[in-house]
Amino acid sequence: MDHVILKTKNVKKVYNADTLHAVTALHDVNVEVHKGEFLGVMGPSGSGKSTFINMISTMDYPTDGLVFINGKNVLNMSANEIGHFRYENLGFIFQEFNLLDTHTIFENIALPMTLAKEDPKEIEKRVVSAAEQLGIGDLLNKLPPECSGGQRQRAAIARALINRPGIIVADEPTGNLDSENSEELMELFEEMNRKNGTTIVMVTHDSYVASFTSRLIFIKDGTLYKEISRGDRTQDEYFSEIVSVSSSSRRRKREEP
Amino acid sequence: MMKEALRSLRNSPANALFFAMTFFLTTALLFSYFHMAAAVSDGMPEVYYDMNHLADLFQMLEKGNAGNLMMVFIVIMCAVDLVFANDFFVKNKAREIGVRLMCGATYIQLAAYLLIQTAVLMAVTIPLGIAAGYSLVVWMRSLLDITIPLDGYAWMEFISVMVMIVFWTTALNCSFAYKSGAVLLAGGNMNALMRKEKPYGLRKTRFMEAVYDVVGVIAALFPLVQFYYGGIGLAVGMVIGCVGLDRVLVHIVVPLLTRHNRKRGTRSTASVLRSGFLRRDILFSKFTVYLFLTDILVLLAMMTRDNSPLEASLVRISYVCICILQAMTILFRLATDISTRHTQYRILDRIGTDETIRKAVPVQETVLYGLFLLLVVLFYGGVASVFILQAGSLQVKDIIFSAVTAVVPAMLCLAILCVYNRRETGNEAVRIGL
């Protein structure tokens, strides 16, 4: 747990910089994520959560500050190096699943492995195994639009995990799922984190979903507003604190002149 | 509304240009066709007379001079081409139509919004098409040294068919306005809604599937057998052939591509991507390919008839125009799908696919599709040509003319598609939407 796998140092993001409509989405954000941690990111709409996750997942560059993943400064990499870095170190799960609708579930899951130039036999073996573990083994030859939302999200998870990345980045992964599928997904995340030691960084606005994490940071108006850890508490106790912090942040916003 | 419709036209010039080109070619073809057919001694007046007595339609076809047979065929083909051209034209307007609907626009307002744009394009292209058709008629007069009168019957036929075309396009626009509203209210995309498993059909066993596949292959070859025996009832034969070809493509070729991708395609990312996109292209454009084949074979069969010089010219002009129109139809169909594919390339960017692959795949995909189309066209056209040459109905130069006319416009359109594909996917892929 002591090894810092991801670190941001004074990260600042300004959209439309040098124009009259400049908007600062993040102000000097400093976060450290340890190996094997399950970190949640919460905050109201427009608070900068998605900007933060785009920065740490190499999707976008900060205006100022540094981002280190496994000790490497991602800002010093070229576009192609970032591509390699992504499929070797990061697994992505998004609210809209982000599967290629034109390709089968098998092909979608296999893509990061083909990028890593793995042997086709090994790809077949590992994709089938991952799909079976996630309960989508019989859907491999189907196209994503032929599957349910839950099945598609499982396919997205299989793709995110197939290269055994160091970090899973999930942006509102339960956003398009019903409560039953959401709960199943979070149990899966919890199991991956506990049994395999997978590091997960997840953005959510759902307090119940957030209660599955081991640590939670709250972002408000582009700054780190609060940080809480689950520690030895039960999930219910942790959930109560999340709700309390979440609502207090909103109350303060209303009370401000 | 007028201003907004014109602004919308300006915002998508490529779509407007291609839609306009379809109108232009359709008008030019119909104008020259009706005027030249009127010059055939027992042609146009009879057609005009018989069209007023629809019960005699089959009798008219039985009598079968080239003008009678082709009139029905060409008008149907032009109408079908307009369906695909319209689809391409309005596809990228779905979002703005959706927003208008959400803001309270009525169905009539949406239809009017689309119709104004179509009317503007028609107002520009129909006169140009008439001018081009007239030039063609004048050229044929001097070439064949015969009289082709610009008479009233031909004008009446031309105008009545153009009115039908305008109504048809109006109906297409209205139906799109309705469909957009329905999809938006259903909260999804139409493709996803329509791709549900069909609840009917015989129970699928491996044996039955194999039987269907064999029947499909036989049906796909049926039109060629007809050519061997002299092309009797070829239009019906083509329907059977297209049903068979559909079985072959959907249940044999596409699963083969999927199997290839799973076993060996995973050697490289580009291989997985291009064969996946190729599979999608084949399925998405299959009906336009069937139409293309039907046109080529039916018009090829018309060429083998005992035609007068004017009828022969009429068939050839129709063949050239229809081949161009069909090539454009394939272009529209594929471009309609490609215009929505930047999302897919954004996903590829997100999971770490480098720029070289993202730029190469659209080109490789289009080249492979071109090879597929060439293979299908040359197989059907080639086998039919061998039978025709054996029967001595046409000469080698006629066959070369037919092959070049079928292949060149299609390949040109695919070259345009390649540029469009690369522009749509390659450039917008990187960090779009962030």
From residue B244, how far is each of B158, B207, B213, B233 by CA, in Å?
A: 36, 18, 9, 17
**Residue A120 with chain B: CB contacts under 8 Å:** 263-264, 266-267
A103 and B348: CB-CB below 8 Å? no
Domain boundaries, chain A: 35-62+77-255
More confident residue, A60 or B42: A60
Is B360's Cβ below 8 Å from some Cβ in A?
no
Per-range mean pLDDT, top range of A40-49, B162-171, B279-288: B279-288
pLDDT confidence band for B429 (50 / 70 / 90): very low
The sign of the torsion formed by the CA atoms of A103, A105, A110, A111 equals positive
- In this structure, of A158-162, B302-306, B356-360, the range with the lowest mean pLDDT score is B302-306
- % chain A with pLDDT above 70: 96
CATH code for A35-62+77-255?
A: 3.40.50.300
pLDDT confidence band for B40 (50 / 70 / 90): low
Per-residue pLDDT reduced to its tens digit, A75-86: 888 777 787 778
B344 and A92: CB-CB below 8 Å? no
Residue A44, by phi and psi: left (phi above 0), alpha (psi -120 to 50) or beta?
Answer: beta
Distance of CA B316 to the CA centre of its chain: 19
Do residues B275 and B369 touch, judged by C-beta distance below 8 A? no
Distance separating alpha carbons of residues A207 and A242, to the nearest angstrom: 6
pLDDT confidence band for B433 (50 / 70 / 90): very low
Six-digit token string for A109: 């899951």
More confident residue, B161 or B102: B161
**Residue A87 with chain B: CB contacts under 8 Å:** 351-352
Distance separating alpha carbons of residues B133 and B112, to the nearest angstrom: 30
Residues 6+ apart with CB under 8 A from A14: A22, A23, A24, A25, A63
Per-residue pLDDT reduced to its tens digit, A185-233: 888 888 888 888 889 999 988 899 999 999 999 998 888 888 899 888 9
Name the residue type at position A35.
K
DSSP string for B190-231: HHHHHTSPPS-SS---HHHHHHHHHHHHHHHHHHHHHHHTT-
- Residues forming a β-bridge with A210: none
Residue B198: predicted pLDDT: 46
Interface test with A, best of B190, B261, B267, B272 (most A CBs within 10 A): B272
B434 and A145: CB-CB below 8 Å? no
pLDDT confidence band for B282 (50 / 70 / 90): very high
Burial code (b: 16+ CB inside 10 Å, e: under 16) for A145-182 equals: bbbeebbbbbbbbbbbbbbebbbbbbbbbbbbbeeebb
Per-residue pLDDT reduced to its tens digit, B92-109: 677 777 777 777 777 777
A107 and B344: CB-CB below 8 Å? no
More confident residue, A184 or B68: A184
- Residues forming a β-bridge with B267: none
- Residues forming a β-bridge with A7: A32, A68
B276 and A107: CB-CB below 8 Å? yes
- In this structure, of A138-142, B274-278, B312-316, B411-415, the range with the lowest mean pLDDT score is B312-316
What value does the mean pLDDT of chain B take? 77
Do residues A90 and A166 touch, judged by C-beta distance below 8 A? yes
Residue B74: predicted pLDDT: 77
Distance separating alpha carbons of residues B370 and B407, to the nearest angstrom: 10
Residue B61: predicted pLDDT: 47
Q: What is the chain B residue with the closest CA to A92?
A: B351
Q: Which residues of B, range 43-102, sit inside 8 Å of A by Cβ?
A: none
Q: Count of A–B CB contacts within 8 Å?
A: 99
What value does the mean pLDDT of chain A take? 86
Per-residue pLDDT reduced to its tens digit, B391-408: 777 888 888 999 999 999
Write out the H or E segment, with its range, that includes residue A238. helix A235-255
Name the residue type at position B409.
P
Is pLDDT of B90 > 60?
yes
Would the ipTM clear 0.90, i.e. be above it? no
Is pLDDT of A163 > 70?
yes
**Residue A107 with chain B: CB contacts under 8 Å:** 261-262, 265, 272, 276
Residue B57: predicted pLDDT: 44
Q: How many residues does chain A have?
A: 257
Interface test with B, best of A52, A74, A85, A114 (most B CBs within 10 A): A114
Residue B33: predicted pLDDT: 78
Per-residue pLDDT reduced to its tens digit, A16-72: 877 777 888 888 889 999 988 999 999 888 888 888 888 888 888 888 899 888 888
From residue A233, how far is each of A214, A230, A241 by CA, in Å?
A: 10, 6, 10
Interface test with A, best of B193, B354, B356, B368 (most A CBs within 10 A): B354
Q: Find the DSSP H helices in B145-205.
A: 152-186, 190-194
Distance separating alpha carbons of residues B102 and B112, to the nearest angstrom: 17
Is pLDDT of A161 > 80?
yes
B272 and A114: CB-CB below 8 Å? yes
- Residues forming a β-bridge with A169: A92, A201
Residue B182: predicted pLDDT: 59
Residue A140: predicted pLDDT: 92
Distance separating alpha carbons of residues A182 and A185, to the nearest angstrom: 5
Distance separating alpha carbons of residues B366 and B357, to the nearest angstrom: 14
Q: If you average pLDDT over residues B317-344, what whole number do you get?
A: 85
Interface test with A, best of B267, B334, B347 (most A CBs within 10 A): B347
